C-alpha cells in the first residue's frame, strides 16, 4: 500500500507538483493519467525516493520514504521514463548487477532471474549488448530490472511511450500478467491505455489531482459527453436536422464535402449512447443514405478535464 499525502514539488518558481494526495491499495492497478508536463514523472520520482519533495509525505507499506528509505525501497520496483540501462553491458550482466545492488540472495538469484527473463520474454537476447537492442526490448529489460528483488509494488512511468503498435500490445499483455500479483502504478497520457489495464485512475493536470475514480465510474461520467463520428452520402442538411431531433442528441455538426461524403460529429448526452446508434441507423436507412464510416470518438484529455470539471 502506498499513501501519498499532500505532495508538493517546486522547481525554482515552477510548481511541478502542487498538493497531490492519493492511496494505492494492495494488488490494485492504478492508472496515473495526465497530459505531458502534468507532473506524473515528478510524482513517481518522489514516491520511489529518487527526488525529494518540497513538502508532503510518501509511505510505502507503512515506511516513510524519507525516514526509512531502505525498507520502503525494498518493496518498490521502478521503471523510470528513461530506463536506467547500461548500454555497455549485456542483458544478463546487467540483471546480475541489479541483483547485486538490490541485494538479492545468491541462492535465489538464478531462479528469480530465470523467472523474470521468461516472463518478460527476453530469453533470446539475454547475451546481447543492451545498446544494440530495439526500443521494445530495452523497455522489457527495464521492466525486468524493476521486477528484480520481487517487489510487491511496481511503478511504471509511461511504459509504452515510443514503441510501435505491436510492441505496445506486447507490453500491455505483459503488464496485465504482472498485475495479477503486484500493485501497479502506470502513468500515461493516453486514456485508452489506462482503461485497458487499470482498476482505478488518478487524473492530474498542472500538478493537481483532477479526479480519482474507478474505471467504471469514470466511463459513466465520460459517457455524459460521448461523441460519434458518422460519414455518409446523401442530403446533409436534412439528415442533420433529423439527427438533431433525436432524443439524447445534444448537438450535431456537419462538415459538407465536395466529394459528397459528409462527416457528422454527433454529441450525445445521457446514458443512451448505445441506443442512439440504432436510431441513427434508422434515420440513415429511411433517407437511403449509405453509411461510409460510423464509430465513437475517443475524447481528448482536454475534453475529459472539461467534462470532469463541468460535472463537479
Ligand X SMILES: Nc1ncnc2c1ncn2[C@@H]1O[C@H](COP(=O)(O)OP(=O)(O)O)[C@@H](O)[C@H]1O
Of 195, 191, 217, 248, which Cα lies nearest the Cα of 312?
217
Q: Order of strands, edge to edge, in the sheet holding 291-297? A: 249-255, 262-268, 226-232, 291-297
Q: Tell whether residue 39 is a contact of another protein (CB under 8 A).
A: no
* Among 3, 97, 195, 221, interactor with another protein by CB under 8 A: 97
Q: Which residues bind Mg ion (CB under 5 A)?
A: 41, 81
Q: How many CB atoms lie within 10 A of CB 233?
A: 15
Q: How many CB atoms lie within 10 A of CB 225?
A: 19
Per the CB < 8 A criterion, the answer to whether 175 and 184 are in contact is yes
Per DSSP, the three-state class of 122 is coil
User: Contact region for ligand X (CB under 6 A) — 11-19, 107-115, 170-178, 271-279?
Assistant: 11-19
Q: Closest CB to ligand X among 44 and 178?
A: 44
* Among 25, 26, 37, 87, interactor with another protein by CB under 8 A: 87
Q: HSE of 246 in the Cβ direction (CA atoms, 13 Å)?
A: 27
**H or E segment at 141?**
helix 135-147
Give the strand pairing for 262-268 and 226-232. antiparallel
Binds 34, which of ligand X, Mg ion, another protein, none (CB < 5 to 8 A, cut-off by type)?
A: ligand X
Binds 208, which of Mg ion, another protein, ligand X, none (CB < 5 to 8 A, cut-off by type)?
A: none
Q: Tell whether residue 90 is a contact of another protein (CB under 8 A).
A: yes
Binds 111, which of another protein, ligand X, Mg ion, none (CB < 5 to 8 A, cut-off by type)?
A: none
Binds 37, which of another protein, ligand X, Mg ion, none (CB < 5 to 8 A, cut-off by type)?
A: ligand X
Q: Closest CB to Mg ion among 75 and 158?
A: 158
- CA distance linking residue 256 with residue 235, whole number of Å: 10
Interface of this chain with ligand X, residues 18 to 47, rule: CB under 6 A: 34, 36-42
Q: Closest CB to another protein among 30 and 76?
A: 76
User: Nearest distance from residue 40's CB to Mg ion, in Å?
Assistant: 5
Give the strand pairing for 291-297 and 226-232. antiparallel
Per the CB < 8 A criterion, the answer to whether 211 and 58 are in contact is no
User: Contact region for another protein (CB under 8 A) — 109-117, 121-129, 231-239, 251-259?
Assistant: 121-129
Q: Tell whether residue 84 is a contact of another protein (CB under 8 A).
A: yes
Residue count, binding to another protein (CB under 8 A): 46
Q: Tell whether residue 121 is a contact of another protein (CB under 8 A).
A: no
Element counts in the chain: helices (H) and strands (E): 11, 14
Q: Closest CB to Mg ion among 122 and 198?
A: 198
| CA of residue 57 relative to chain centroid, distance | 24
- CA distance linking residue 308 with residue 312, whole number of Å: 6
Q: Could you list the residues that contact another protein (CB under 8 A)?
A: 5-6, 8, 10-12, 45, 48-57, 66, 69-71, 73-74, 76, 78, 80, 82-90, 97-98, 100-103, 127-129, 132, 149
Amino acid at each position: 500500500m502506498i499513501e501519498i499525502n499532500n505532495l508538493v514539488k517546486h522547481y525554482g518558481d515552477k510548481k511541478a507538483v502542487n498538493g497531490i494526495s492519493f492511496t494505492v491499495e494492495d494488488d490494485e492497478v492504478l492508472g496515473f493519467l495526465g497530459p505531458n508536463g502534468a507532473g506524473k514523472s515528478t510524482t513517481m520520482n518522489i514516491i520511489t525516493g529518487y527526488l525529494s519533495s518540497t513538502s508532503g509525505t510518501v509511505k510505502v507499506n507503512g515506511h516513510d520514504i524519507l525516514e526509512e528509505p531502505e525498507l520502503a525501497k525494498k518493496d518498490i520496483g521502478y521503471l523510470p521514463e528513461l530506463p536506467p540501462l547500461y548500454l555497455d553491458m549485456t542483458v544478463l550482466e546487467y540483471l546480475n548487477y541489479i541483483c547485486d545492488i538490490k541485494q538479492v540472495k545468491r541462492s535465489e538469484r538464478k531462479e528469480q532471474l530465470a523467472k523474470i527473463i521468461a516472463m518478460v520474454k527476453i530469453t533470446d537476447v539475454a547475451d546481447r549488448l543492451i545498446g544494440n537492442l530495439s526500443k521494445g526490448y530495452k523497455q522489457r529489460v527495464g521492466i525486468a530490472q524493476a521486477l528484480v528483488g520481487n517487489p510487491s509494488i511496481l511503478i511504471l512511468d509511461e511504459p509504452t511511450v515510443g514503441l510501435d503498435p505491436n510492441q505496445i500490445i506486447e507490453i500491455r499483455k505483459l503488464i496485465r500478467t504482472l498485475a495479477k500479483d503486484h500493485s501497479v502504478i502506470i502513468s500515461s497520457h493516453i486514456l485508452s491505455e489506462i482503461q485497458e489495464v487499470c482498476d482505478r485512475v488518478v487524473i492530474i493536470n498542472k500538478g493537481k489531482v483532477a479526479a480519482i475514480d474507478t474505471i467504471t465510474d469514470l466511463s459513466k461520467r465520460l459517457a455524459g459527453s460521448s461523441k460519434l463520428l458518422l460519414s455518409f452520402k446523401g442530403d446533409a442538411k436534412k439528415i442533420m436536422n433529423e439527427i438533431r431531433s433525436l432524443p439524447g442528441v445534444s448537438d450535431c455538426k456537419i462538415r459538407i464535402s465536395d466529394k459528397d461524403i459528409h462527416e457528422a460529429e454527433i454529441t450525445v448526452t445521457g446514458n443512451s449512447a448505445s441506443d442512439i446508434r440504432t436510431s441513427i441507423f434508422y434515420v440513415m436507412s429511411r433517407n437511403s443514405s449509405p453509411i461510409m464510416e460510423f464509430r465513437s470518438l475517443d475524447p481528448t484529455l482536454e475534453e475529459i478535464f472539461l467534462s470532469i470539471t463541468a460535472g463537479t
